[in-house]
Amino acid sequence: MEKASDVAGTLATALMSYDLINQPRLNKGTAFPEDERDLFHLHGLLPPHIGTLEEQAERRIKVLRSYETDFERYAYLRDLQDTNETLFYSVLVNNLEELLPIVYTPTVGEGCQRFSEIWRRPRGLFLSYANKHRIRDILADSHFDQVRAIVVTDGERILGLGDQGAGGMGISIGKLALYVGCAGIHPEETLPILLDVGTNNQERLNDPLYMGWRHERVTGAEYDEFVDAFVVAVMERWPDVLLQWEDFAGYHAGPLLERYRDRLCTFNDDIQSTASVALATLLAAINVTGIPLTEQRVALLGAGSAGCGIVSLVLRAMIEAGASEAEARSRFYAIDRDGLLVDGMPGITTWQRPFVQSQAAVANWKTELPGKIGLFDVVANAHPTVLIGVSGQFGAFTEQAIRLMAQHVQQPVIFPLSNPTSRSEATLEQLVTWTEGRALVGTGSPFKPVTWNGVEIANNQTNNSYIFPGMGLGILAVGAKRVTDAMFMVAGKAVAAMSPTVTDPKGRLLPRVSQLRDVGIAVAKVVARQAQLDGVATFTDESGVDARIADYMWAPHYLRYVKGNSPG
């Protein structure tokens, strides 16, 4: 496929007949014109009608809407992507608000669980531990020469669903579909990868349809050596690649990011993009509440790598806004499985350390259970203005705790960010009801609008798709060699600047999903300029950033084909 900037709009290919129409990147289906049907021997293989991309998209969306379940729609779209990529992206780009919950969360979760059931054609790479000695050979295939963006997972912590083994490939495919759909990264430059190191999910291992390596998960030094061999091979094959880590278990996610962030251009979506969009949503909520960031009190339920990533970015934003580091830290209450993190507790991680409360700060707290400070206790004693959930536990935000929070805070800011929907800490309807319509809510998964006292309250899906596509576009457009923390700060602020609350306190916290392509461009521009400021960009002309981004973006359309060397 060509770049959007190609003037000729033609592509040379040596593929003929069945080989051409069975190549997803090149297939046009009924849109092959008469002369190309002559040239590539397609007569008889296609019905005589010659259509357009727009007509094909209209037909496909009509069929899609006829299915009864979102999983059926997900499977249909996956099949379309593996049949005709240009048509798939045309349908996606023009129906983002409708299709995001299907291509991405929450339906992608079921797609990962049932990945082996619906697998049809190869997409991406499965790098199994059993083939560790073949990694370089697998990556060397010329089909992948144009790759510039990789999303990799080992399938161990897919959303809130846990270990899905090889089914985790669905999350890498879904993320990269949004790189293309929301930011215009060229499909040929994207590569989903699954590091198949086995699975401890007995249901998958017992499933005769399961397509992954039937082995318990490799751990310890063997796991580390395998991942390192993968990273080294990637760096050799694509020195300028962007590598995104996705849905690794918490005990791997943070260490992997720290190990490799200074060796290649890489970031962890669950830790860093989640933090950026959460910050954006919080800043938008502040437009409504009027409470300055430096005066917020933040309770976090789920103090793993993702949760700590969120509060770490909010902490830095507080300090930038004028708070001292000590004062800012005192305003965070991080709750993990053993309760509120308090100085002296065993097992405190490096990520958690900045958010540990002192013994003195909680010495006079009254608690429900002796020896453990839970969410209700934090709400009762600290009166948080903001509550963020990344626990993966459905219903973890109890009615008792939320009603109590609303007694002390006029407009509580509440973010149940766990997904899919079956893992959300609370639903939008529950939070609206329990706070009598006063809560400002951002959720990880989509929920239908709720009506309270005759007023419709829209859901704000505080989703990483507001961040990572534009992040990728900005990084690739200026050839960034590294991903810096400052990029996620400016990305979050850029999304907040597009919030309807900037001009309307009654507006949505986040732009509509249908605007995600515009959001991706806005994020790309600030990320690209931040890369230049941080000294990590290869393209250093500040005045040329906007044009560079516009030139880089691809939009789905069909090319004219001529005979010649095949693109792969």
Query: Looking at 463, 485, 513, which one is the last position of a domain?
Result: 463
Query: Is 306 a domain residue?
Result: yes
Residue 540 pLDDT class (50, 70, 90 cuts): very high
Total Cβ atoms within 10 A of residue 506: 8
Query: Is 563 a domain residue?
Result: no
The verdict on 197 and 252 lying in the same domain is: yes
Q: Is the pLDDT of residue 389 over 60?
A: yes
The verdict on 79 and 189 lying in the same domain is: yes
Distances (CA, A) of 327 to 28, 311, 330: 60, 14, 5
d(CA 434, CA 202): 39
Q: Is the pLDDT of residue 15 over 70?
A: yes
Q: Is the pLDDT of residue 31 over 50?
A: yes
The residue to which tokens 């707290």 are assigned? 365
Q: Which three-class secondary structure state does DSSP give residue 234?
A: helix
Total Cβ atoms within 10 A of residue 208: 5
- Indicate which residues carry an active-site annotation: 104, 175
**Among residues 271, 226, 275, 233, which one has the least CA distance to residue 249?**
271
In whole angstroms, what separates CA 218 from the centre of its chain? 26
Residue 565 pLDDT class (50, 70, 90 cuts): confident
Q: Where are the alpha helices (DSSP H) in 261-324?
A: 274-289, 305-320
* Averaged confidence pLDDT in the chain: 95
Domain count, the chain: 4
For helices 516-533 and 96-103, angle between their N-to-C axes, nearest 10 degrees: 70
d(CA 101, CA 492): 22
The verdict on 404 and 368 lying in the same domain is: yes
State pLDDT tens for residues 375-386: 999 999 999 999
pLDDT for residue 134 = 97
In whole angstroms, what separates CA 59 from the centre of its chain? 29
Query: Is 24 a domain residue?
Result: yes
Half-sphere exposure of 257 (CA within 13 A, CB side): 24
Q: Is the pLDDT of residue 8 over 60?
A: no
Mean pLDDT (whole number) for 335-349:
93
Q: What's the residue count for the chain? A: 568
The CATH number covering residue 434 comes to: 3.40.50.720
Please enumerate, as own/partner, the contacts of 365-372 that have beta carbons within 8 Å and a separation of 24 or more.
Answer: 372/338, 372/339
Mean pLDDT (whole number) for 76-101:
97
Query: Residues near 35 by Cβ (< 8 Å), separated by ≥ 6?
Result: none
Single-letter amino acid, residue 218: V
The verdict on 422 and 491 lying in the same domain is: no
Cβ–Cβ under 8 Å, residues 339 and 374: yes
Cβ–Cβ under 8 Å, residues 384 and 361: no
Please report which helix (H) or strand (E) contains residue 414, including its range.
strand 413-416
Establish whether the linkage from the previous residue to 106 is cis, with ω within 30° of 0. yes
Query: Is 564 a domain residue?
Result: no
State pLDDT tens for residues 231-283: 999 999 999 999 999 999 989 999 999 999 999 999 999 999 999 999 999 99
The verdict on 87 and 145 lying in the same domain is: yes
The verdict on 137 and 212 lying in the same domain is: yes
State pLDDT tens for residues 275-314: 999 999 999 999 999 999 999 999 999 999 999 999 999 9
Cβ–Cβ under 8 Å, residues 563 and 39: yes
Residue 1 pLDDT class (50, 70, 90 cuts): very low
The verdict on 172 and 243 lying in the same domain is: yes
The verdict on 390 and 419 lying in the same domain is: yes
Query: Is 568 a domain residue?
Result: no
pLDDT for residue 340 = 97
Query: Looking at 12, 36, 51, which one is the last position of a domain?
Result: 51
Q: Is the pLDDT of residue 7 over 50?
A: no
The verdict on 300 and 398 lying in the same domain is: yes
The residue to which tokens 């809560």 are assigned? 439
**Among residues 375, 179, 415, 170, which one has the least CA distance to residue 275?**
415
The CATH number covering residue 246 comes to: 3.40.50.10380
For helices 85-93 and 169-183, angle between their N-to-C axes, nearest 10 degrees: 70
Query: Is 561 a domain residue?
Result: no
Q: Where are the alpha helices (DSSP H) in 95-149?
A: 96-103, 107-113, 115-118, 135-139
Please enumerate, as own/partner, the contacts of 15-19 that have beta carbons within 8 Å and a separation of 24 or more.
Answer: 15/40, 15/566, 16/40, 16/41, 17/41, 17/42, 17/45, 18/45
Mean pLDDT (whole number) for 113-137:
96
Total Cβ atoms within 10 A of residue 464: 25
Query: Looking at 439, 463, 487, which one is the last position of a domain?
Result: 463
The verdict on 391 and 437 lying in the same domain is: yes
d(CA 526, CA 546): 10
d(CA 295, CA 326): 13
Q: Which three-class secondary structure state does DSSP give residue 49?
A: coil
Q: Is the pLDDT of residue 70 over 90?
A: yes
Query: Is 352 a domain residue?
Result: yes
Mean pLDDT (whole number) for 397-423:
96
Residue 427 pLDDT class (50, 70, 90 cuts): very high
The CATH number covering residue 33 comes to: 1.20.1370.30
Q: Which two tokens stand for residue 458?
A: 């829209």
Query: Is 7 a domain residue?
Result: yes
The verdict on 244 and 322 lying in the same domain is: no
Q: Which domain holds residue 471?
A: 466-552
Q: Is the pLDDT of residue 4 over 50?
A: no
Q: Is the pLDDT of residue 566 over 70?
A: no
Q: Is the pLDDT of residue 357 over 60?
A: yes
**Among residues 325, 332, 321, which one has the least CA distance to residue 294?**
321
The verdict on 183 and 153 lying in the same domain is: yes
pLDDT > 90 fraction of the chain, expressed in percent and rounded: 94
Mean pLDDT (whole number) for 496-515:
96
Q: Is the pLDDT of residue 79 over 70?
A: yes
Half-sphere exposure of 274 (CA within 13 A, CB side): 28
